[in-house]
Chains A and B, each alone.
Chain A
Amino acid sequence: MTARSIGADAAPYGRAVVPSVWSRLWSANGPGYLFLLPWFIGFFGLTVGPIVTSFYLSFTNFDLLTPAEWVGFDNYARMFTADPKFAQSMRVTLLFVVFSVPLKLAFALSIALLLNRGMRGLPIYRAIFYLPSLLGASVAIAVLWRQLFAGDGVVNDFLAIFGIQGPSWISNPRTSLWTLIALAVWQFGSPMIIFLAGLRQIPVDLYEAASLDGASKWRIFWKVTLPLLTPVVFFNAIIQTIEGFKSFTPAFIISGGTGNPVNSTLFYTLYLYQEAFAFFRMGYASALAWVLLAIVAIFTGVSFLTSRYWVHYDD
């Protein structure tokens, strides 16, 4: 088991001896590009155009209804010098990512490990824990969350048993973001399933060998399970962080698209959406999007660089 990243020195497929340059080129690259053909068509046909367009629009004023007008770096300049809402939405989003992602992953992993023990009623538990994620972005969630986290909601009814008088969590600017973090963590089903699938792929003989060596379960977890699970942990961490930064629907549904109270739930993409579709500033919204992309890309890049030290692939 060596730690390697994409593009490392794995041997290419193909015949061992090749006569000409062209057929050597083909055997080295052909199969790869053939397999990528659908993706290339999709990428160049459907994806690149809109992405490049949005990059261009980020240097313009574009109100959706009339043609875009070039303004150079104005949008970017405004963001960093004259837009308190940009700073606020960035702060809200960072807080959300920092708390919701680790919590969600921890929940997902521990429940997956518990469920992987092969206990009775496993399918039922698994289904129950996945149910909230099925709800997705349903309008019903707004009502549900109010029912739970309002001043006279269920959470406070419960706290009252211990003599605690809680605030109206969802509508107090000091606590409202936490109800959205709770929502994100509550919907931990997807990473849980991915962890479970990862656990399922760990070959049983490794456990056998470790057990015969007399290793404790704790040791087996650290020495066998976790290392073999690192590609999946890595995947979940990257994906959840990207999704966290792009998180839109929780705040959109629960704050009715406003980001209130007092902008305490103004997620970055919610602000972007308001600019684009409520205030007709698609140019500015595009600039916001590209700044977000830069931030997420830097984070992801660093993660990939560090991954060679802790992610173990079997290839």
Chain B
Amino acid sequence: MSTRLTNHGRLIDRSARLEFNWNGKRLKGFKGDTLASALLANGEVLVGRSFKYHRPRGIVASGPEEPNALVGLGQGGKYEPNQRATTTELFNGLTAKSQNHWPSLEFDVGGVNRVMTRFFPAGFYYKTFMAPAFAWKHVFEPVIRKAAGLGAAPDPEERDADRYEYFYAHCDVLVIGGGIAGLAAALQAGKSGAKVLLLEQENHFGGRAPVDGVTVEGKPAQDWIDATVEALGSMENVTIRTRTMGAGVYDHGYALGYERLSDHAPEIAGPRHRLWRIRAKRILTATGAIERPLSFAGNDVPGVMLAGAVRDYMINHGVSVGDRVVVATNNDDAYRTAIALKEAGLDVPAVIDARSTATGPLVEKARAMGIRVETGTAISSVYGNKKVTSVGLCKQSGEGTKTDELECDAVAMSGGWSPVVHLWSHCGGKLNWDSEMAMFRPDPSRPPMGADGEGFVLVAGTANGHLDAAAAIADGHTVGAQAATEAGFDAKDSAAPVAESEAEGPILAVWSMPQGQNKKLQMKTFLDYQNDVKVSDVRLAAQEGYESVEHTKRYTTLGMATDQGKLSNINGLAVLADSLNAEIPQVGTTTFRPPYHPISMGAIAGEARGGLFKVLRRTPMHDWTDSNGGVWEPVADWRRPYCYQQAGESVKEAVNREILQTRNSVSILDASTLGKIIVKGPDAGKFLDMLYTNMMSTLKVGRCRYGLMCSENGFLSDDGVVARLDENTFLCHTTSGGSDRIHAWMEEWLQTEWWDWKVYTANVTEQYAQIGIVGPNARKVLEKMGTDMDLSAEALPFMAFADGEIAGIKARPYRISFSGELSYEVAVPAAQGQAFWDAALAAGAEFGITPYGTEALHVMRAEKGFIMIGDETDGTVIPQDLGLNWAISKKKEDFLGKRAQQRPHMVDPKRWRLVGLETEDPSVVIPDGAYAVDGTTRANGVKHMIGRITSTYYSPTLKRSIAMGLVEDGPERMGDTIMFARTDGTTINAKIVDPVFLDKEGARQNV
């Protein structure tokens, strides 16, 4: 049973007791504990159930590679699933729950899957749930969803109670990892004067060196670590961050850091996580190595742990994982664990060493201490259910026949160490297989390439394959200087720190324990703990023809869990290589992708939530609208009122009221969102002639003209009214959503094609409030407001504008109309918008003036047959489809889109074209987007479509439903009745009519 020792525990403070809650139990730990070490100290060996078979699982590792100890942390708005106990620092009041079991961790019904193991092989889901289709929705999916999955998602009604932020940093050398190699590298780079940023994922430095008993410069490693951190801290050009993980490396020296500011102490104010967005000239990763499990049967029974982790818990936290610990290994490093256990007074029944001979200094030391060393031996199987009870021994060279059995309560295993090459590989750094060391290590001749064509990532220390402390620290020293030099600094020549540790004998690559493990044992030998992938699954995949490691990964789900195969990938691909009778480098690795370790969604979102999630543009009358019944809808980045709802009326009633008020008297419209772009210069007319389909250069000063813009592909992209302010100056109105896009479009052509044309553009959309006074009484309202302009039909006719003052405010009324009524759209300086609006409301009171929203605007334009970009157009519609030939110049030699519109498909008379539609039953409104069908069926079984609805409304003016649509031969079929299909299989009959439903001759607007 795991427990707290009275000795060791370099990271814990035994005077600071902390209380925490585990599955409702109140447990105690110390400051400096991780949740994992505290659980082990309390004898909590069983921490979760596995994903697929619901097998009992315990803590395996001591760092971010931990596959099993995933817990739900916190409560309510602070709840987060799938947090690793090994990377969670303990604090007073921490609340954690185990996951993936029902009804309880100790008794789990899903555990029946375990006895079904042989019925759930690789690809089980693919093979089983093929048919029938209905079974997916009603049988398979509900059952699988209940049984599978990791932690429960947070309550969707709860909002994350914490804050998050981004942090932008630039540096010359980014050092990721604060072990002895990273520190030596940072010191060298720092001394050169380079701006250095050092990130360490833990809250302490030095990596494994203090645990492994390394000495530096003749003293314990910790002394050198402390001195170096202090020296770095005193350098102004060096920034150090602990609890900050290097999460990813991207193109051109971009890197992400993930800083956890208050996970260890929730009482700290400020953001919880900070996402560092870093640009570095050189990125140096000194990320150490991760120990590999050994593949023997029962290697997932709680109590079977990595040998390095066993050592970590003992030395760092004063926790023993068991009283009798069997060590299983293929290398010398695990002997450090055996020796440390023995020195702590614990029992080590034996070291099971797969190698036929073991003679290194560590091995000899263990033997000298009286530890039984069994070479050429393997674990045949681990016995125990929720806890290790014994291990069976066998010959490593055999198939697994048990020769002996040793009672024990824990197993410390080591299959060797794999350098953490993730950050090197994220952006394309290549690896070499080192068969002697049995590891993939970075190939310095094939680094990720930067903007200058040179490699921008360097690797140092253990991550570079130097498992020996002396070599690692020297490598850090050298590579640190190299990084600084490459970043343009003069790295000083100095002697590397000298580290010492016991020499290690050669490793034996062991991918299967025992070598010829029989099928029965293979089915109990786990490669991927988190996704429950066994040796037998990978072998089956190979047998079924999966040769690519990427395919095998997806078929078996090996390495696809939240740990991304940190423990399992190398073992898995070695088994695959063996099954395929191929060499490991031929099989290769799967792709390493960021982040190295999961980071919070909150950190990715940063401050972009709530009101800061998206830019919101407000018109000068936004606040007035908000407090006067405005029912908001998003229009591009703006908010516009759908209608202005009055007390006691529905939205629909409000829209109808607004329309009738406009048609019968006068209304006011906030049209400020309309795009306004000034185009100025001697060549402005020539330029607009190219941009618009019609002629703009002939427009008279003081007049307006409606124009269309197309893409080079001929498709209609925007429309609006152009006003000529003076000989060289035009003001182009665009759609509300189009102002930025059209301004960019203009600039693109001016800068990249016609750069010799003398034209300037300026987007003045937000400089003006634009207010429509619309309806038969519009002129009376403006005159009552008081103006120095003659607003009569004679002086200011339709499609003209004037400059002057209204209500004492500088104003430019345009006689343009999107409703078909007498209409003045008045542009006033944005700051005067609300004042003008108030004055208009006061003057219009006697006419019952009220504001109208976007829906009334839409209905009134449809009553007039005016098109709307985005309704009648969808990126495949040309102006000719919409009967807008009158707005396409035949005189102009060229304009954007002209050539495209001459292509055969564009002049095909069978193109669907715009018509009006009146339903037989005037009260029935055709659903938007409904297709016109002719009653025939196509070869593929779908109804033959001959058109579609683009706009459809109930018109209160005409007291009937109206619609516009694109119909094959539509304009030639006036008066015909056609069918529109509803989704319920019924159809609606509608008559093809002229799209102008109201006032065809324009008498209402020309007054």
Partners in one complex: no
Residues on A facing B (Cβ under 8 Å): none
